[in-house]
Amino acid sequence: MTQVKPKTFSIAVIPGDGIGREVVPAAISVLQRLGEKFGIGFDFLQLDWGSDYYFQHGSMMPADGLDGLRSSDAILLGAIGHPKIQDNITLNGLLLPIRRVFDQFVNVRPAILFPGVESPLAHVKPGGIDMVVVRENTEGEYAQVGGFVHHFDPKEVAVQTSVFTRPGVERVIRFAFELAVKRNGKKRVASITKSNAQAFGMVLWDRVFEEVKSQFPQIETESLLVDAATIHMLKRPESFDVVVASNLFGDILSDLSAAITGSIGLAPSANLDPLRRAPSMFEPVHGSAPDIAGQGKANPLATFFSAAMMLEHLGAGDAAQALDGAVRNLLREKKVRTPDLGGISSTQDITDAIVAAIVHG
């Protein structure tokens, strides 16, 4: 009998900084177990890029680093950031170039209040929040257009320009509507802007949103100013399904959505090129958390959820569902949980529990 050769995926792995070095190895061990169970091979390319690389070489990654990523099927990132390096250096030296060069123009951040997890919002029960923030990921407020005049002088001037292009706005809004069609949700899309104060880029966004929504009559919509959106997300979070926003507003609202669903330690994300011309990147939202790094307290579940999103993107749906289900069951049982969820379990405890669930599930 002919034996079918397992599908092998090439995964570029960037643990990065802080707790990234704890949660990414945990995710790799889980992926390896999934691979054994579902007949999937993984070729992990370990990259030591990040703040330590910066201290040694003066850059966050090699000058030709992005060229080496192109042949990967996906990128798994842990966290970037160090208290001794300004965030604009770490982000613009590694994370943002990957998003831009590979045109990962959609950032997808699900926010679900799982059974077994309490929201800080007393009126919301488990299952009451199930939304996804779709964030424009390559232009907008993070386009890095601008500069300084009279640098470090008392008369110093800083100019920061947001860039909104019609193609860039339209493609992310269209993605949000298409996602709402596919989801087993409320079939709603909320657009978030600040067009009362930003009368060019945000007005373009609003106009394109109106044009695109006319092509999806089955989808209910609303347009909110970002300040109002923060209030509504706290008062009626259960009403949101798909939220689409610019780079800055999507960044802020996705952190808020993570907070109201119990812990940023549960928040995954995907930086997608939906056209699949280049590898997409998957990462937890929580950052490097230097205050708990190296203590074994980091919650790896956001990274596990991110890994499940990666598997789904790669077409390994059965493995993705198994991992997603194992994490949900662990949360529901409330037996093993890290300090951010009110428990005393370690990163390794959580990893061991998920591995056991995969092996025996």
- Residues with catalytic annotation? 142, 194, 227, 251, 255
**10 Å Cβ neighbour count for 266?**
26
Residue 234 CB-half CA count within 13 A: 9
Q: For residues 252 and 244, what is the distance between their CA atoms, to the nearest angstrom? A: 12
Residue 238: both structure tokens together: 């259960």
The conformation of residue 340, written as its DSSP 8-state character, comes to G
Backbone torsions φ then ψ of 44, nearest 5 degrees: -90, 120
Least Cα distance to 138 among 93, 174, 179, 172 occurs for: 172
> Within the chain, how many helices (H) and strands (E) appear?
12, 12
Cβ neighbours of residue 276 closer than 8 Å, sequence gap 6 or more: none
Residue 13 CB-half CA count within 13 A: 22
User: Dihedral sign, CA of 88, 10, 250, 232?
Assistant: negative
Q: For residues 116 and 112, what is the distance between their CA atoms, to the nearest angstrom? A: 12
Cβ neighbours of residue 136 closer than 8 Å, sequence gap 6 or more: 105, 106, 107, 168, 169, 172, 244, 245, 246, 247, 250
Please give the helix or strand (H or E) that residue 136 lies within, else none.
Answer: strand 130-136
Q: What is the DSSP string of 249-272?
A: HHHHHHHHHHHHTT-GGG-EEEEE
Least Cα distance to 307 among 16, 8, 32 occurs for: 32
Please give the helix or strand (H or E) that residue 181 lies within, else none.
Answer: helix 166-182
293 three-class SS = coil
Residue 361: both structure tokens together: 């599930």
